[in-house]
Structure 1
Amino acid sequence: MKRGGKIAATTVVVAALGIGAVVAHDPYVLVRAHFERQRVRAGLGHAQVEAADHRWTYAFGDDAPADAPLVVMLHGFTGSKENWYPLAERLRGHYRLLIPDLPGWGESERKPGADYGFVAQAARVEAYIRMLSPGTPVVLLGHSMGGGIAALVAARHPREVARVGLLDAAGVRFQDNPFGRDVLAGKNPFAVSDRASLARYIDTVFHRPEAKPWIPWPASRGLIARRRADAGFEQAVLDRIGRGDESFLPGDEAAAIDQPALLLWCRQDRVIDHSALELYAAKMPQAAKVLLDDCGHMSLMERPDAVAAAVVALIQQGQPR
């Protein structure tokens, strides 16, 4: 082998060993790399901002016309901004997009002992919106826990929210199911500590087999380690949003939401039972109601085309065609 070829081969080997060492030390790097590929594929940018005394990390899409509506998307409990990427792919170019990791979650800042319940997060989201969309109300979408937060923001800060969409949203006393009973009993049904509980978590939030993410080893090891480390934080959040005084505050305050609204659920949701849709609808008679079939809690990932159509209808509601 020529000298140049030997150097090139040695470089490849050294690089591979270096990558292997990094993965061995922190296998979650594979999850982060996958998230980065998803973001690039969705055509989204990546940025950070300081708002409400926290550093926010967010994805954004700004390739729509400057006067296009701005859509802000809030993820759910144990979720992250990446959950919205399938929907973002369908909306980008038509609307401007902001997709944050909520404070405490994902890549955004978490402060020891801070409150990350519905009320505190709603105040932070309002500050985030004012900073990034000053003087211009947004279309606010929230999924699961993020739906409860979005309901409070829309009810309490109508000048910041032009339209609101609640997807499989928490914040009302829905019909009992195993997930809800476990939460009220002080458990975390989403807890992940090993491969079996990771599989159970995925089976709980997804309905369609083809929609369930495949997480190979060693990425699964990194994800399990991250979730195990977050166990205390997750329980503290559930204490506030799942079984504390503010558990049903979003539903109570939803009657103050006068903006055009969307309520979207999946019939096979095993987390927030679809009975929650009618509970919210009783407080928000102006809301369009969409109940999708053949999907579970992750409607935005399992049925992104149908969710995108519903969101577009919400945005265009009352606008000249």
Structure 2
Amino acid sequence: MPTASLSAGQVKYADTGGDGPVLVLLHGVNMSGSLWDGVVTRMPPDVRCITPTLPLGSHRRPMARADLVTHRGVSALVGELLEALDLTDVTLVLNDWGGAQFLLADGPNERVAAAALVACEAFDNFPPGRPGKAIADSARVPALLWLAMQLQRFGWFRRAPGGWGWMSKRPVPTAVMDEWFRPAQQNRGVRRDLRIFAMSTPGAAELSALVDRLPSFDRPVLVVWATEDRLMPREHGPRLASLFPQGRLVEVDDSYTLVPVDRPEVLAQELVQLASSVSPGR
């Protein structure tokens, strides 16, 4: 995988190439860019898909500047990545983690021509549901975070109700989840980054102010929400879409939060439509 050297450290990413629309697809905590594999393989060959692995617990190399691994800091890293790769007219796609909304609201977002918010954190739902809050709680004590990561070695724990079993209706392949959890299980520096990130959850006042600023992003925004989601309240989908001047809501059945895992074919079709609508040099 190629690597981008950013202010916080090195970020690896996959890049399919292609001379058509550009999508940058972002994942959540304890996941990597491989979350999007089922979507990327369904894309037309000219669509360029870039899937970075952000420092959210599944990155293999600890960050050089751990103090920058916060919700706002990682959002800024996404902006740095777009600049480092000299990407323009980007369709930015979020799933699970919603912190990149700070980039949409506050910039610099000149390189972002459209956005898709797919079953992600929004409003006061930071961190989302019981799984997110469990990671945030365990992060307060390093030994508990270590234990939480070690328990993820076991399939029964991964699919337990209230945990990863609520993230997707269809189990994520064992080899993929092994890849996601191994860095935090084995590397103290990665756990340090994850701990700092988990403890940086914005407060209620900051999240409320973010909501007030989101309508300033006046480009096309697709909000994709799973009707059976157990972590992201269903009412957040239409509410989020209504914030944006060019917001549009699509609800997806037969899926939990990880729509890229549960319904990749539907999501790929919607993302191609959105990205194809972007006017170059808007």
Paired residues of 2:136 and 2:198 also in contact (CA < 8 A): no
In structure 2, what is the Cα distance between the partners aligned to 1:251 and 1:74?
20
The structural deviation recorded for 1:95 is 0.8
The structural deviation recorded for 1:175 is 11
The letter of the residue matching 1:168 is A
Whether 2:14 is the aligned partner of 1:54: answer no
In structure 2, what is the Cα distance between the partners aligned to 1:237 and 1:243?
14
Whether 2:80 is the aligned partner of 1:127: answer yes
The structural deviation recorded for 1:228 is 4.2
Which is further off, 177-186 or 284-293? 177-186
Indicate the residue corresponding to 2:130 in structure 1.
179
Q: What do residues 188-223 of structure 1 show as CA deviations (whole Å, max 9, x unaligned)?
A: 7x944322432323312112xxx203428xx98887
Change over 3 Å in CA distance of 1:220–1:61 after alignment to 2: closer
Aligned residues: percent identity? 18
Q: What do residues 140-195 of structure 1 show as CA deviations (whole Å, max 9, x unaligned)?
A: 111121x331x22223223110111111121312599852894698357x944322
Larger Rg: 1
Indicate the residue corresponding to 1:193 in structure 2.
150
Change over 3 Å in CA distance of 1:128–1:276 after alignment to 2: same
Change over 3 Å in CA distance of 1:193–1:184 after alignment to 2: closer
Whether 2:32 is the aligned partner of 1:98: answer no
Indicate the residue corresponding to 1:275 in structure 2.
235
The structural deviation recorded for 1:120 is 0.9
The structural deviation recorded for 1:278 is 2.6
Whether 2:59 is the aligned partner of 1:114: answer no
Q: What do residues 10-55 of structure 1 show as CA deviations (whole Å, max 9, x unaligned)?
A: xxxxxxxxxxxxxxxxxxxxxxxxxxxxxxxxxxxx3112123421
The letter of the residue matching 1:278 is P
Whether 2:164 is the aligned partner of 1:213: answer no
Change over 3 Å in CA distance of 1:261–1:178 after alignment to 2: closer
Larger relative contact order (C-alpha < 8 A, sep ≥ 6)?
2
Pairing partner for 2:225 from 265, 288, 291: 265
Indicate the residue corresponding to 1:204 in structure 2.
166
The structural deviation recorded for 1:86 is 0.8
In structure 2, what is the Cα distance between the partners aligned to 1:102 and 1:290?
26
The letter of the residue matching 2:117 is L
SS in 2 for 1:90: coil
Change over 3 Å in CA distance of 1:276–1:234 after alignment to 2: farther
The structural deviation recorded for 1:96 is 1.1
Change over 3 Å in CA distance of 1:223–1:128 after alignment to 2: closer
In structure 1, what is the Cα distance between the partners aligned to 2:218 and 2:254?
31
Q: What do residues 101-157 of structure 1 show as CA deviations (whole Å, max 9, x unaligned)?
A: 1135423542364232221112211111012125x2311111121x331x2222322
In structure 1, what is the Cα distance between the partners aligned to 2:8 and 2:271?
31
TM-score, length of structure 2 as denominator length:
0.79
Which is further off, 110-119 or 229-238? 229-238
In structure 2, what is the Cα distance between the partners aligned to 1:223 and 1:266?
23
Q: CA RMSD in A?
A: 3.3
TM-score, length of structure 1 as denominator length:
0.70
Paired residues of 1:183 and 1:242 also in contact (CA < 8 A): no
Change over 3 Å in CA distance of 1:78–1:306 after alignment to 2: same
